[in-house]
Amino acid sequence: MATMQRERSATHDLAGAYRAIRRLSEALVAPLSEADATLQSMPDASPAKWHLAHTTWFFETFLLRDHLPGYQLFRGDWPFLFNSYYEAEGQRIARANRGLLSRPTLAEVFDWRAHVDAAMERLLADERHQALVLLGIAHEQQHQELLLTDIKHAFFHNPLGPAMWPQDPVGVAPAQHLGHGGWRDHPGGIVTIGHAGGSFAFDNEGPAHRVLLEPFALAEGLVTKGNWQDFIDDGGYRTASLWLSDGWDWVQRAGIMAPLYWRDGQEFTHAGWQGRDPAAPVTHISYFEADAYAAWAGHRLPTEFEWEALAQGQDPAGGNQLDTAAPPLPTGGAGLFGDCWQFTRSAYLPYPRYHPAAGAVGEYNGKFMAGQWVLKGASCATPRGHSRATYRNFFYPRQRWQFTGLRLAKDL
């Protein structure tokens, strides 16, 4: 009887989590017009409408089509539009052309979502599908963050500087200038890294394995916008010796002189152009910039293993993360999670004994393990509860439209 009650509770919690995540996606786009939701400002970004549709395609394809007897696709020609990169699922529209999809309309996408959600109720009650449902939920949470950062990038290119939400004043932590935040020491030694099972994780988080660390320390606080302004004022973007060769080439070719969204004491936010708070964490920087700043500061970026070793035992749902449909805003605070994803100097590579999952879902992470860098933590646009100490985010070194920042490290 106790086992049956636990199983019922687990399926109930899963169904509740599914419904809550699906509602949040729709709440996030509530302020957008049809035109807003169709915008695509660059190939790295996707329209808000596409994110709503793609996450629905994921549930329809990998759960309803494959596991619900008799299920018929809502529209047989839509998988071509909303498959992202799954080669096993066939041809798809070019990523850079997603913004050309004026049809289906936003209302039609909402109808599709409702149709899929109704059909999913039958699978949510079956514990055999729990692992795949959890993957779909985590996948939609990732796209919620992408939706927010993609629409921010699109609105930034509008000369009117439109606001998605009105500014909601939030208190910020006192400024943490370089060296004033203190350090968290770690003695080094052999530590276990990676997810050991027992709960949901992406395949790239495991297997758990041992790593030897030398003694090190991580800064208590994230690097702030005030810190970054000091870097700029000291000629950080004009000093070649601070930069990796590829980074210096990127700075020169692109004319980079500040983080993305900065201008004359202001920065662009989901609430439009706002004054910059020097006490808040700096965000929207590339790996190249983070590495150059660390060199300027006389320190370095942490490895992903160092970061994870200190994060073990901390509450991953703490800090400033996304709870509801409200404007994400880095505010600063204690703990390793929240505000911004933190660059490490670790290349995104498979762990020892890593094997991708079987089937099309095996394309989720493994095939991207080349030329990217690992980020740890969570951002103000990360749905709370999505991240954990073992979580491995990853981006190419030039990318900075996400809420990316840094925390310094040093050797002991």
CA 141/CA 378 separation, integer angstroms = 12
Helix then strand then coil, in percent of the chain rounded to 5, is 40, 15, 45
DSSP assigned state of 184? E
Which residues contact residue 271 at a Cβ distance below 8 angstroms, ignoring those fewer than 6 apart?
163, 164, 165, 166, 167, 168, 327, 329
pLDDT tens-digit series, residues 5-19: 333 445 559 999 999
Q: Which of 284, 250, 35 is nearest to 149 (CA)?
A: 284
Q: Band of the pLDDT at 188, cuts 50, 70, 90?
A: very high
pLDDT tens digits along 327-354? 899 998 889 999 999 999 999 999 999 9
Looking at the predicted structure, is the pLDDT value of residue 405 above 90?
A: yes
Residue 195 near residue 227, CB atoms below 8 Å? no
**Confidence band for 238, pLDDT divided at 50, 70 and 90:** very high
Q: How confident is the model at residue 365 (pLDDT cuts 50, 70, 90)?
A: confident
127 contacts 7 by C-beta, under 8 angstroms: yes
Model pLDDT, residue 12: 58
Distance CA 272, CA 276 (A): 12
3-state SS assignment for residue 193: strand
Residue 206: what pLDDT? 96
Range from 86-95, 163-172, 197-206 carrying the lowest mean pLDDT: 163-172
Does 3 score more than 60 pLDDT? no
CA distances from 29 to 104, 200, 334, 351 (A): 16, 27, 30, 37
Q: Are 270 and 29 in contact (CB under 8 A)?
A: no
How buried is 338 (Cβ within 10 angstroms: 0-12 exposed, 13-18 middle, 19+ buried)?
buried
What is the mean predicted confidence (pLDDT) over 174-203? 84
User: Is 361 a residue whose pLDDT tops 90?
Assistant: no
How high is the pLDDT of residue 171?
A: 42
* Whole-angstrom distance, CA of residue 333 vs CA of residue 339: 8
Whether the pLDDT of residue 74 is over 80: the answer is yes
**Mean pLDDT, rounded, for 110-137:** 96
Q: Give the integer Cα–Cα distance in Å for 223 and 179.
A: 10
DSSP 284: S
Percent of the chain with pLDDT over 90: 87
Which pLDDT value is given to residue 262? 98
pLDDT at 71: 97
How high is the pLDDT of residue 7?
38
Mean pLDDT of 295-304: 98
What's the chain's average pLDDT?
Answer: 93
Instruction: With cut-offs at 50, 70 and 90, classify the pLDDT of residue 190.
Output: very high
Residue 6's pLDDT is: 37
User: What pLDDT, in 10s, does the model give residues 51-67?
Assistant: 999 999 999 999 999 99
Quick check: 168 pLDDT over 70?
Answer: no
Whether 50 shows a pLDDT value over 50: the answer reads: yes
Give residues with Cβ within 8 angstroms of 339, minimum separation 6.
222, 280, 281, 283, 319, 320, 330, 331, 332, 333, 377, 379, 380, 403, 405
pLDDT tens track for 390-401: 999 999 999 999
Q: Quickly state the pLDDT bin for 73 (edges 50, 70, 90).
A: very high
pLDDT of residue 5: 34
End-to-end CA distance of the chain: 54
Evaluate if residue 204 carries a pLDDT over 90.
Answer: yes
d(CA 178, CA 187): 23
pLDDT at 159 exceeding the cut of 90: yes
Name the helix (H) or strand (E) containing 12. Answer: helix 2-28
Half-sphere exposure of 59 (CA within 13 A, CB side): 31
pTM for the complete prediction? Answer: 0.94
Residues 31 and 148: beta-carbon distance below 8 Å: no
Sort residue 406 into left (φ over 0), alpha (ψ -120 to 50) or beta. beta
What gap in Å lies between CA 203 and CA 217, rounded to an integer? Answer: 28
All structural domains of the chain, each given as residue ranges with its CATH number in brackets, are: 2-156 (1.20.120), 183-411 (3.90.1580.10)
**Stated length of the chain:** 412
Q: Please tell me whether the peptide bond between 104 and the residue prior to it is cis, using omega within 30 degrees of 0.
A: yes
Rg of the chain in Å (alpha carbons): 22
Q: Render pLDDT for 256-285 as a digit per residue (tens, 0 to 9).
A: 999 999 999 999 999 999 999 999 999 999
In the prediction, which pLDDT does 11 show?
A: 54
**Calpha distance 393→204 (Å, rounded):** 10
